[in-house]
């Protein structure tokens, strides 16, 4: 071989080793899954500055709700892999944003939506169920979830559509006139999880009330199992913004799995709900056009127009599918291959910038040029849940009678409604206009609303 050929050969080898780094995931190896997850987590936390001096713990620039989703993902990462590297940041951020034990922190509470608050409540619930280490001087994880439940059920709105949660909390927020699936599905799931964890039937009754109400609206069909994004109080919830987002399905599916498990699998209501929603979720969001085993956010990925909110949805759904597999063991066999196929697809995207940056589309075997905290979050989630086959029912979400010991406070969050009102009454007209704009930028289901406007 001539010298120049040697040189080229060495260069090609060096490129292979250093240049196009991919994440190799072998879903049949625990070590490989843990290693892949740790690389994705490292890449995600490169984007998180909240624990640095001068920054606000738990606050991600331009968004508040994503912090809850991020910590939820890290809590699950720790649970599945045992890597505690980021635990102190999780505890710091989750407590910093806790408000008066209700995730209504004064800095942000005047423009957040019910769904935004809900994600922090679900993160706290996750921490309780997975026995995540407590904060030494903060609120217990369970009480934080109870605080979100208490503040939200107080907003249950019987004045329009015979019930339901509005998307937004205050009249001046864009989207106040809408009732949407993620706000109702989120509270349904939180209530179901509180019921199972505490065995307090009041939470079950609320979960069932929310579910039953939702099935009387175009949001959720208990015959076709379609989940729409939104409906409107301006026409008595008669029209449908039918945009199809994976997390709306996942929120109801996950909640139904908890209801099934809490009721010990008795009756058919929850087993039918799990089966129907799971069928639709797997059919829709694991399209056969990509082989049927790789998750796709079908509304935004084909044209690659997903916003940061939407990029997170697949990661949320991955986590909820894993809980479903634990809580309704008959679903395990249909769920696992979908999580494995998606993890392999996701890993193949992680060749960005030569530093394992991951993309949005998991189904094209290549990096698509997108990158960010949100991309890393979804990939981290799908890698973590691939530990499912290496766990057993003792790794399932705990309850207070199976080892979960987070301290209960059934009245958490109920003493600060006066404070929320005080914050509200000091808001000027100028602030209101500003808040409306901010809401439009931050709220989770903006595209859903657009869809509704076009249809309505
Ligand atoms: C990878 O490179 C990109 C672009 O320079 C950067 O934004 C990102 O933080 C890097 N990620 C890691 C894990 O170093
Ligand atoms: C923030 O957390 C990361 C990961 O735990 C750590 O490496 C870093 O030193 C922390 N930064 C500060 C300022 O504490
Ligand atoms: C509220 O804003 C202040 C001023 O920027 C900041 O110091 C504080 O950490 C913020 N608190 C929360 C909960 O975001
Ligand atoms: C709304 O309806 C629920 C369920 O029927 C009931 O418990 C609650 O008291 C009602 N709330 C208001 C404000 O009327
Ligand atoms: C389906 O929802 C409708 C409307 O709420 C309700 O009347 C019916 O009983 C539900 N069917 C089942 C099987 O739960
Ligand atoms: C489920 O089973 C447990 C243990 O047998 C029992 O204590 C509980 O009451 C049952 N729950 C329901 C809702 O039937
Ligand atoms: C879900 O699909 C399975 C397999 O096709 C079918 O047996 C089951 O009846 C479906 N569930 C519902 C609720 O339609
Ligand atoms: C409830 O979940 C636990 C934990 O995964 C599981 O062992 C149990 O079989 C489930 N109960 C039912 C009725 O499927
Ligand atoms: C799939 O990836 C290839 C490169 O491997 C690229 O040329 C093609 O445009 C991608 N297709 C889509 C739909 O992203
Ligand atoms: C479940 O897994 C844990 C951790 O690997 C192990 O300690 C425990 O013995 C297992 N339990 C059963 C019933 O297999
Ligand atoms: C819960 O149990 C863990 C050990 O599993 C322990 O470290 C923790 O302090 C306990 N928490 C409470 C609130 O008792
Ligand atoms: C059950 O939860 C409800 C609603 O938060 C609360 O009012 C009640 O005190 C709880 N009961 C017990 C025994 O903790």
Pairing verdict, β 178-180 and 230-232: antiparallel
Longest dimension (CA), the chain: 84
CA of 134 relative to ligand 11 center, distance in Å? 7
In this structure, is residue 85 part of a structural domain? yes
Hey, whose CA ends up nearest to atom 14 of ligand 10?
392
- Per-residue pLDDT tens over the stretch 392-440: 998 999 999 999 999 999 999 997 543 443 333 333 333 333 333 333 3
> Within a domain: residue 345?
yes
Question: Does the residue 39 lie in any domain?
Answer: yes
What is d(CA 323, CA 395) in angstroms, rounded to the nearest whole number? 10
* CA 149 to ligand 12: nearest atom: 5
Q: How many CB atoms lie within 10 A of CB 60?
A: 21
The whole-angstrom separation of Cα 446 and Cα 143 is 30
Taking the centre of ligand 9 as the mean of its atom positions, its distance from the CA of residue 362, in whole angstroms, is 11
Centre of ligand 9 to C-alpha 361, Å, is: 10
CA of 377 from ligand 1 middle (Å) equals 14
pLDDT value of residue 415: 79
Q: Which ligand is nearest to the CA of 80?
A: 10
Q: How far is CA 280 from CA 181, 246, 249, 310, in A?
A: 16, 10, 8, 19
| Distance from the alpha carbon of residue 90 to the mean position of ligand 2, in angstroms | 11
Atom 13 in ligand 11: residue holding the nearest Cα: 406
Reported pTM: 0.90
Give residue 309's pLDDT band: very low, low, confident or very high (50, 70, 90): very high
> Which residue lies with its CA nearest to atom 14 of ligand 8?
328
Determine which residue's CA is closest to atom 4 belonging to ligand 6.
264
Q: Rounded to 5 degrees, what are φ and ψ at 60?
A: -100, 135
Query: How many independent structural domains does the chain possess?
Result: 1
SS3 category, 456: coil
Expressed as residue numbers, the domain containing 81 is 19-440
Residue 10 counted as domain residue: no
Give yes or no for residue 357 CB within 6 A of ligand 1: yes
User: Which of 130, 269, 329 maximizes ligand 8 atoms within 8 Å of its Cβ, making it the mutation to test the pocket?
Assistant: 329
Is residue 456, in this structure, part of any structural domain at all?
no
CA distance from start to end of the chain: 71
**Dihedral angle of Cα 53, 58, 61, 64, to the nearest 10 degrees:** -160
DSSP per-residue letters across 102-134: TS--TTTTTT-BHHHHHHHHHHHHHHHHTTPPP
Lowest-confidence range among 1-15, 99-113, 296-310?
A: 1-15
Contact in structure between 178 and 165 (CB atoms under 8 Å): no
How far, in Å, is the centroid of ligand 2 from the Cα of 191?
34
Could you give the CA distance from residue 311 to residue 317 in angstroms, rounded to a whole number?
11
User: Tell me: the pLDDT tens digits for 74-120?
Assistant: 999 999 999 999 999 999 999 999 999 999 999 999 989 999 999 99
- pLDDT given at position 20: 59
Residue count of the chain = 456
Mean pLDDT on 216-245: 97
Distance 78 CA to ligand 2 centre (A): 17
Task: Find, among 398, 321, 399, 314, the residue nearest to 69 by Cα.
Answer: 314
List the CATH number of the domain containing 139.
1.50.10.20
Token pair for residue 226?
């379609």
200 lines ligand 6 (CB under 6 A): no
Instruction: Give the Cα separation of 360 and 271 in Å (integer).
Output: 33
328/277 Cα distance (integer angstroms)? 13
Q: Give the residue whose CA is nearest to atom 14 of ligand 4.
A: 158
308-327 and 269-285 helices, crossing angle to 10° = 140
Structure tokens at 409: 């406070």
Tokens 């704009």 sit at which residue? Answer: 437
Count of CB atoms within 10 A of residue 138's CB? Answer: 16
Alpha carbon of 358 to ligand 10 centroid (Å): 33
Cα–Cα distances (Å) from 6 to 10, 17, 198, in that order, read: 6, 16, 68
Instruction: Select the more confidently predicted residue: 102 or 449.
Output: 102
Average pLDDT over residues 31-56: 98
Ligand 2 site, residue 48, Cβ cutoff 6 A: no
Asked, for residue 13, whether it belongs to a domain, the answer is no
CA 456 to chain centre: 28
CA of 392 to the centre of ligand 10 (A): 6
Contact 214, 273 (CB under 8 A): no
Judge whether 14 lies within some domain. no
The CB of 376 under 6 Å from ligand 1? The reply is no
Q: Whole-angstrom Cα distance, residue 236 to residue 376?
A: 40
Mean pLDDT score across all residues of the chain: 89
The minimum-distance atom of ligand 2 relative to the CA of 52 is: 13
Region of residue 131 (left: phi > 0; alpha: psi -120 to 50; beta: else): left
Q: In this structure, is residue 295 part of a structural domain?
A: yes
């Amino acid at each position: 071989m001539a010298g120049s050929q040697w040189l080229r050969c060495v260069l090609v080898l060096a490129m292979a080793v250093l240049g196009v780094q991919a994440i190799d995931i072998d879903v049949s190896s625990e070590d490989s899954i843990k290693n892949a997850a740790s690389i994705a987590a490292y890449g995600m936390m490169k984007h998180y500055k909240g624990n640095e001096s001068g920054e606000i713990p738990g606050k991600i620039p331009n968004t508040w709700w994503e912090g809850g989703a991020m910590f939820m993902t890290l809590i699950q990462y720790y649970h599945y892999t045992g890597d505690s590297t980021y635990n102190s940041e999780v505890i710091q951020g989750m407590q910093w944003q806790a408000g008066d034990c209700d995730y209504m922190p004064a800095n942000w509470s005047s423009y957040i939506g019910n769904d935004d608050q809900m994600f922090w409540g679900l993160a706290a619930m996750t921490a309780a169920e997975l026995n995540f280490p407590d904060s030494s001087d903060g609120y217990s994880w369970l009480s934080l979830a109870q605080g979100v439940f208490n503040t939200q059920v107080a907003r249950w709105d019987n004045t329009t559509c015979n019930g339901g949660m509005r998307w937004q909390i205050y009249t001046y927020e864009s989207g106040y006139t809408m009732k949407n699936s993620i706000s109702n599905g989120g509270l349904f799931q939180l209530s179901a999880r509180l019921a199972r964890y505490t065995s307090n039937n009041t939470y079950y009754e609320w979960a069932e009330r929310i579910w039953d109400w939702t099935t009387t609206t175009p949001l959720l069909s208990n015959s076709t199992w379609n989940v729409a994004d939104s409906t409107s109080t301006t026409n008595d919830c008669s029209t449908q913004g039918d945009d199809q987002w994976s997390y709306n399905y996942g929120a109801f599916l996950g909640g139904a799995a908890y209801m099934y498990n809490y009721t010990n699998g008795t009756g058919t209501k929850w087993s039918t709900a799990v089966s129907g929603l799971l069928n639709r979720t797997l059919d829709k969001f694991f399209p056969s056009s990509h082989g049927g085993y790789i998750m796709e956010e079908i509304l935004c990925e084909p044209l690659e127009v997903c916003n940061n909110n939407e990029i997170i949805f697949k990661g949320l759904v991955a986590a909820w599918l894993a809980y479903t597999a634990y809580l309704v063991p008959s679903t395990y066999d249909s769920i696992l291959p979908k999580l494995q196929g998606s993890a392999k697809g996701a890993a193949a995207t992680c060749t960005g910038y030569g530093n394992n940056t991951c993309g949005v589309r998991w189904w094209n075997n290549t990096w698509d040029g997108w990158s960010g905290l949100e991309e890393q979050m979804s990939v981290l989630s799908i890698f973590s849940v691939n530990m499912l086959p290496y766990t057993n029912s003792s790794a399932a979400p705990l309850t207070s009678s199976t080892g979960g010991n987070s301290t209960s406070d059934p009245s958490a969050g109920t003493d600060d409604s006066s404070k929320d009102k005080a914050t509200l009454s000091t808001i000027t007209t100028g602030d209101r206009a500003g808040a409306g704009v901010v809401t439009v930028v931050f709220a989770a289901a903006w595209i859903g609303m657009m869809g509704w406007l076009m249809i309505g």
